[in-house]
């Protein structure tokens, strides 16, 4: 009997009315289901209440989602955020230690947007808080338009770097991605390698070199219309394949 891999999907804490909720975007959960062919389960951002080892023992993969919030800059010794910046300290307190433990335990990981940035911060890297204000850099923020199709339309190319995971997946050397972010990698963490780079030199995709399994982060949003975009689909399929290998081992125990 074939088991679908159980894939944990991170959640943000959002106030709805008088109560806080743990929420994860529909597009991430659907992409896990239809592209990675896994069973998504939302991981609440409960910080110190999360029994990380027990949780990871039940999971075959971990997807770190995007979010309107940013990692609090004290985690990477950065300057204070601009007034009004959205933060989610409960998510930070959950995802950063969870990510380090997942890599150590050999759990496949895919990080998207904020999740990509969390991967860099978790292993000692730092972030630019406003890429669009840096000399010579593109404006990587989404179009100011109410239509999601316009916001998530291809925005710029990325160049795949030789010798890495993306090249092994036979992704095109250059392909177009959407762009929905204001922050980006400043200092790349030790042990991480750049997998793809934007025309302005910003790192757009990373892998964790010391991971025994798939551990990739992307700054763009491959979950968006994933089935109709071959490079996006290839990334999710590779993640799903790694999760299935872990599921097969876990279900033999």
The catalytic residue positions are: 113, 221, 223
Closest by CA to 10, choosing from 47, 48, 54, is 47
Q: Please give the Cα distance from 199 to 29 (Å, whole number).
A: 30
Mention every residue, 6+ apart, whose C-beta is less than 8 A from residue 148.
none
Residue 158 has which token pair? 């990325």
Q: Is the pTM of this model over 0.75?
A: yes
Q: How many other C-beta atoms are found inside a 10 Å radius of the C-beta of residue 147?
A: 9
The pLDDT profile of the chain, 253 residues, written as one tens digit per residue, is: 467 999 999 999 999 999 999 999 999 999 999 999 999 999 999 988 999 999 999 999 999 999 999 999 999 999 999 998 999 999 999 999 999 999 999 999 999 999 999 999 999 999 999 999 999 999 999 999 999 999 999 999 999 999 999 999 999 999 999 999 999 999 999 999 999 999 999 999 999 999 999 999 999 999 999 999 999 999 999 999 999 999 999 888 6
């Amino acid at each position: 009997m074939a088991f679908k891999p159980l894939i944990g999907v991170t959640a943000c804490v959002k106030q709805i009315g008088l109560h806080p909720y743990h929420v994860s975007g529909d597009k991430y959960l659907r992409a896990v289901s239809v592209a990675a062919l896994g069973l998504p389960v939302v991981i609440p951002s409960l910080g110190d209440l999360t029994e990380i080892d027990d949780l990871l023992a039940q999971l075959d993969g971990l997807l770190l989602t995007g979010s309107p919030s940013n990692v609090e800059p004290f985690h990477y010794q950065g300057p204070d955020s601009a007034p009004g910046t959205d933060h989610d300290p409960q998510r930070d307190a959950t995802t950063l230690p969870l990510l380090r433990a997942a890599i150590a335990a050999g759990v496949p990981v895919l990080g998207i947007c904020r999740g990509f940035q969390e991967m860099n911060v978790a292993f000692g890297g730092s972030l630019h808080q406003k890429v669009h204000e840096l000399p010579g850099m593109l404006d990587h923020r989404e179009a100011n338009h109410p239509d999601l199709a316009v916001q998530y339309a291809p925005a710029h190319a990325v160049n795949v770097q030789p010798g890495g995971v993306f090249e092994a997946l036979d992704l095109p050397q250059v392909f177009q991605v959407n762009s929905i972010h204001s922050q980006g990698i400043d200092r790349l963490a030790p042990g991480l390698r750049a997998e793809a780079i934007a025309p302005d030199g910003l790192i757009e995709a990373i892998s964790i070199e010391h991971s025994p399994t798939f551990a990739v982060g992307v700054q763009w949003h491959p979950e968006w219309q994933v089935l109709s975009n071959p490079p996006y689909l290839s990334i999710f399929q590779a993640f799903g394949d790694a999760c299935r290998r872990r599921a097969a081992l876990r279900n033999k125990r």
